[in-house]
Amino acid sequence: MDFFMVNPRHFKISDIALINDGCEQTNGVFEKLIYLIKKCVLHALSIGPIPIHVAFIMDGNRRYAKKNNLVEGSGYKAGFFSLVSMLNLCYELGVRYVTIFAFSIDNFKRCPEETRFLMDLMKEKIESLIMDENNESINIANRFGMRVHFVGDLKLLDKPLRLAAKRIMEATVNNSRVVLSICVAYNSTLEILHSLEECCEEKCDEIRVLDESGSGYGLIKIRRDYLKEYDDSMCLINLEDVERNMYMAIAPCPNILIRTSGENRLSNFLLWQSTFCYLYSPFVLWPDFGFWHFVWAILNYQRSCFYLDKKSKQL
Please count the residues of the chain. 315
- What 3-state DSSP class applies to 186? strand
Burial of 165 (0-12, 13-18, 19+ CB in 10 A): buried
- Choosing from 21, 59, 132, 309, which is the catalytic residue? 59
Task: Please answer whether residues 200 and 237 qualify as being in contact, where contact means their C-beta atoms are separated by less than 8 angstroms.
Answer: yes
CB contact burial 141-159 (16+ within 10 A = b; e otherwise): bbebebbbbbbbeeeebee
Query: Beta partners for 53?
Result: 97
Q: Do the strands 146-151 and 178-186 form a parallel or antiparallel pair, or are they unpaired?
A: parallel
Residues 6 or more apart whose CB falls under 8 angstroms from that of 77 comprise 121
Task: Please answer whether residues 164 and 123 qualify as being in contact, where contact means their C-beta atoms are separated by less than 8 angstroms.
Answer: yes
- Taking alpha carbons only, the member of 312, 229, 294 closest to residue 95 is 294
DSSP at 253: P
Compute how many other C-beta atoms are within 10 angstroms of the C-beta atom of residue 57: 25
59 is catalytic: yes
What is the set of active-site residues?
A: 59
